[in-house]
Structure formats: structure tokens, C-alpha cells
Chains A and B, each alone.
Chain A
Amino acid sequence: MCGGPASGSVGGVIEIRGLTKRYGRTVAVDDLSFRARPGAVTGFLGPNGAGKTTTMRAVLGLATPTSGEALVNGQPYRRLRQPMYEVGALLDAGAVDGTRSALMHLRWLARTNRIGRARVEAVLAQVGLTAVAGKRVGGFSLGMKQRLGIAAALLGDPAVMIFDEPVNGLDPDGIRWIRELLRSLAAQGRTVLLSSHLMSEMALTADRLIIIGQGRLIADTSVGELAEQFNRGVLVRSPRPTELTAVLTGAGATVVAEPGGALAVTGLGPAQIGDLAAAHGIAVHEATPRSASLEEAYLALTASSVTYAAGGGGGPR
């Protein structure tokens, strides 16, 4: 217990198994299962109200599952004796007493888990708040409060870190700082679970993606796989579309004529299309890869979940 066990920053796992959480007749989380593994940023993505925060609260023992379980390192959170050495969490950066100084906020938090004062100074320095440590938190900007919340999460040097919408309301500098911090935490071998409703942010930060809608799992995938899944081929314009179609089809591509005379080509890359066209003396005016943006992919996925729920008749609405 002196200083606590060294976490080693490895081996942390978050495991959600069949998690269901109801509030009265509202189903916040519906039979959700996924794992977040070490060494990666797991993006937890869904529209507002999809159940992300409820799931994170269940992981942290702040919400009791109606059924199923949320485990950290194989145990329910409430069974952890010194949880800050195992899990660091930032749920709501504004949930601090504004009349207390940043230093005192971190010091009381450190004391709960017997974390020394030197560690408090270290995390303050790590997030760049040393100069304002003695100032009341009430006067902090949102960005500074986010940094304070991250310092609090880092106190126990935990192997598992959970962040609920950490970039909400931040300026571009703040967003970039958090993105780089999360990447570096994962690179150190930690398990990072990051929720957001912004796909654009996830695309830059996350390795794995857990996408939920209305409390249900929609996709458990990676950024690359998702982009590939929504790859819409190459848009090609040519003054001789009919001949080009024949050439490309002959080479194994699928070609669909689009309104306006363009061709949607799948199965071949833009370079191959250009080479084939050149070999046959066909001019090409445009060859644009059209992988749908991850944002579009995400919207398509979550929209389908809504459609499914409405059509199924058994949804929570």
C-alpha cells in the first residue's frame, strides 16, 4: 500500500458484457457488449443520447446495470480497493467545486487513494497547470478545467483511462493537445476509452471504433475498416464513356453510369484506370477516389439503426 502498486501501464481491459440499463421505461443501454484493449484508443461513438455516458458510468460503478456487467480488469469497479491506480476517468470537467484551488482539488482526490503530494505536483506539471495551481477553479476556462480533469485522471498512473467527450467546447489548440495526449497514453500501452459524438475527431484519434445508437451496438470496427466499408470507388469523367466502360469492365471493374455522364468505378484504383485509359487512347478528364468521409459513414450507420428500430416495432420508442 505504500505508494500503491506500480501499474506498469499495461494489461488494463474494459469489458462490457450484455450491459442493459433502464431508467423507468427508458432503455439507455440495450444488451451492449464490447472490449477496450491495451495500447489503443477505443473510440466510443454515437449520437447524443445513444447511451455512451450511461455505459461509462456503469464501468465506473456510478450506475448499476439492470442486467449484464461492466468490468475493469475483470472486476466490477465497486470492488476495486484503490481504484485510481487502475482506472483514471474524466467524465465532466465542470464537476469541480469552483471555490477550491486546483492544487487542493487534486490533493483531496490523491488522499482518497493514498497518492503522495509529489505525484500531484507531477500531474499538474504534465498538464501545464503548475502556474495556476493555487488559483480557484471557478476562474478557470473550460480548457483549463479539462486539463485539471485529465490531471485528476492521471493521478494514480492507471492502465485504464476513460474520457467522456473530452474535446467538447475546446478551442483547436486544446483539441489538438488532448488528441496528442490520448495518442501518447495509448502508445504507452494504456487502454484508452474515448467517447465522442464527432466522427471527425475520432478519425484522428481512435484506433478502434465502437459505434452505438439507441443503446445498441451498431459497429465494432477500426477506422480503416469503416472507411473501406464505405468506399464508393472512383468517379471518372471521360469524353468517351461508353468505350471506357467497356475497357474497365474488361479489366474486371464494375462500372455504373452516373447522372451527368460520369462513371462510378469500383474494383480499380485511379492510377490503374488512368493507365488503362491511356493504353487505349481514351482521354480521362477526372478520376477522383470517392471514399465516403467517415462522417458520412457514421451518419449512414447510425441512421440505419434508427430506421431499424422504427421498422422493427420493438424499439424503445
Chain B
Amino acid sequence: MTGALAAEWLKVRSVRSTYVAVAVAAATVLLGVLFVLYAGSVWDARPPDRQPEFRAARPEQGFLPVVQLSLAVLGVLAITSEYATGMLRTSLTAVPRWRTVLAAKAVVVAGVALVVASAVLVGTFAAGRLAAGDRTMGFNTAPVADELPLLLASIASVVVMALLGLGFGAVCRSAAAAVTAVVGVRFLVPVVATLLPPPWGARLAGVQLQDLPATIAGVETTGGGEPAVGLVLLVGYAAVPLGVAAVLGPRTEA
């Protein structure tokens, strides 16, 4: 397993797509700062008596989908690039155990997502607060400690998105199909949920990937679910596709 892990780490490090994905995720820091500077200019233009009621979204939350999607694509490509080139057969000749290969990929993808998401989201959080200065813009009024649960849950959601991408990639074996599936689960299901008749939209709201960080952190949620349930659901989003992929096998025959 350690050999497979070391190999997967080197694979991820030695292709350009990894650096593109990380660069796109890192752009969130810049986008967050630009957003806060723009919101700050609006704050500055307000009469002083209306400034306290100003509310701007947390920049690291606003741009979280960028981080999630870029690392989900990294997860997708970690396996679909091997299907596309046929290199997976070489991988399985060197390590003739599919679950070991898949597990090694999952550990590496999760590790990269954890490090990148932590750096980018904490960086965006800190840069946003610095850019806000002493303006009271809503997102920067609570003590840092109060913001930690949501920040950690958001980082976890990025790791889950990356593993969801890897799982969908292994199941679909095609990058296009897997990315479409990831986008469908993360961005289209919420849209569809709003179109459903009354009880169902609300029921779906509590289990959607986009709401889970807030549910887990116990902050104002649309679904209002239990944090523990949210955590189980979040883990499920990563575990189910990977589990299906592990059971299906590599399917490199024929």
C-alpha cells in the first residue's frame, strides 16, 4: 500500500492538470478580496447611520463552489485520465489489486484537497477580514472562534467533493460523464429541488451537498438538520460512489 500511495502521489504531482486545478482553487483568495473590496466601497458610500445594518456574504462561503468544483475535477481526472490513455492497465500490472489502487488514489486526492482547501479557505477568510478592515460588514463581526466550525465543515465538503469526483470518475470511466455527474449532484439538484411541489423541496434541502457545511456547523440552515446527521450525509457523498467503484472493479477487460 505504501508503494501504491507513493506512486499515486507522484502521479498527481507530475501532471499539469493538477496545477491548473490548484491554481483555479487558489484564485478564490483573489476573488474573495476583490469581492470584499467592492462590498467595502459600497459600505463606504453609505451614510454612517446605515453602515451597521450592512450585510455582505462570507467571501470564503461565496466562492466555496469554485474550490469544490476545481478539486472535484482533480478527483475525476485522477482516474479518468488513466482510463482515457489505457494507463490503468499498467497501474494494475504494477499493483494487481484494484481496491489498493483506488484506495491509494482516494488517500492522495483527499490529502491534496484537504491541504488546498485549508490553505485557500483559511486564506480567503483571513484576506477577506484584512480587506474589510474595521468596517462592519456582517461577515466579519463574529469572533474568529465562532467561524471555525463552518470553516472546518467547508474544508471537509471540499475533500468530499474531490472524493465524489474520484468515485464518479471510477464509475463512469469518462471525464466528461463524471464531471457532468458531479455538477449535477452539486449544482443541478438544488435547482430542481426548488421546482418540486411543497413538501419535497424542503425535504431535499436538508440532504443537499451545498447545505451540509452549514448544517454540520449548526449555523442558519435552510433544512435545519442535525449536525451529526449532516456529517453522516457528507461522508456518504464520498463513500457511496467510491464504494460502488470498489465493488464494480476496474472494468478494463475487453
Residues on A close to B: CB < 8 A? 23, 57, 60-64, 77-78, 80, 83-84, 87, 89, 91-92, 94-101, 104-105, 107-109, 111-114, 152
Contact = CB atoms under 8 A, between A and B. Distances in A.
B221 interface: no
B107 interface: no
B203 interface: no
B96 A61 contact: yes
Q: Is the interface of B mostly helix, strand, loop or mixed?
A: helix
A62 B253 contact: yes
Nearest to B89: A62
B55 interface: no
Contacts of A108: 7-8, 10-11, 14
B15 interface: yes
A108 B93 CA distance: 13
B145 interface: no
20 contacts: A60-B89, A62-B89, A62-B93, A64-B253, A78-B96, A94-B85, A95-B86, A95-B87, A95-B89, A96-B87, A96-B90, A97-B15, A97-B82, A105-B14, A111-B7, A111-B10, A112-B3, A112-B94, A112-B95, A113-B94
B94 A83 contact: yes
A61 B92 contact: yes
Given A78-B97, A112-B94, A92 B89 contact: yes
A99 B11 contact: no
A177 to B, nearest CB: 22
Contacts of A77: 96
A43 to B, nearest CB: 22
Complex A-B, nearest 8 residue pairs according to Cβ-Cβ distance, in ascending order: A95-B86, A104-B14, A112-B94, A108-B10, A111-B7, A111-B6, A112-B7, A78-B96
A104 B10 CA distance: 8
B50 interface: no
B122 interface: no
Given A107-B10, A108-B7, A111-B7, A89 B93 contact: yes
B81 interface: yes
A62 B252 contact: yes
Nearest to A21: B253
B10 A63 contact: no
Nearest to A83: B96
A159 to B, nearest CB: 16
Contacts of A113: 3, 94
Given A60-B89, A96-B87, 15 more contacts: A62-B93, A83-B93, A89-B93, A91-B89, A92-B86, A95-B90, A96-B90, A98-B85, A99-B17, A100-B15, A108-B8, A111-B10, A112-B4, A112-B94, A112-B95
B254 interface: yes
A97 B87 contact: yes
A236 B68 CA distance: 82
Residue of B17, B95, B96 with most chain A CB atoms under a 10 A cut-off = B96
B16 to A, nearest CB: 5
A97 B13 CA distance: 13
Contacts of A89: 93
Contacts of B96: 60-61, 77-78, 80, 83
A104 B87 CA distance: 14
Nearest to A23: B254
A280 to B, nearest CB: 65
Contact of A96 (B85, B94, B97): B85
Contacts of A92: 86, 89
Contacts of B254: 23
Given A80-B96, A111-B6, A97 B253 contact: no
Interface string B1-41: 00110111011001111000000000000000000000000
A111 B253 contact: no
B5 to A, nearest CB: 9
A83 B94 CA distance: 6
A196 B168 CA distance: 37
Contacts of A94: 85-86
Nearest to B95: A112
Contacts of B6: 111-112
Given A61-B92, A62-B89, A64-B253, A114 B3 contact: yes
A109 B94 CA distance: 7
Contacts of A109: 7, 90, 94
Contacts of A111: 3, 6-7, 10
A23 B251 CA distance: 12
Residue of A62, A84, A92, A98 with most chain B CB atoms under a 10 A cut-off = A62
Contacts of A104: 10, 14
A100 B81 CA distance: 11
A95 B85 contact: yes
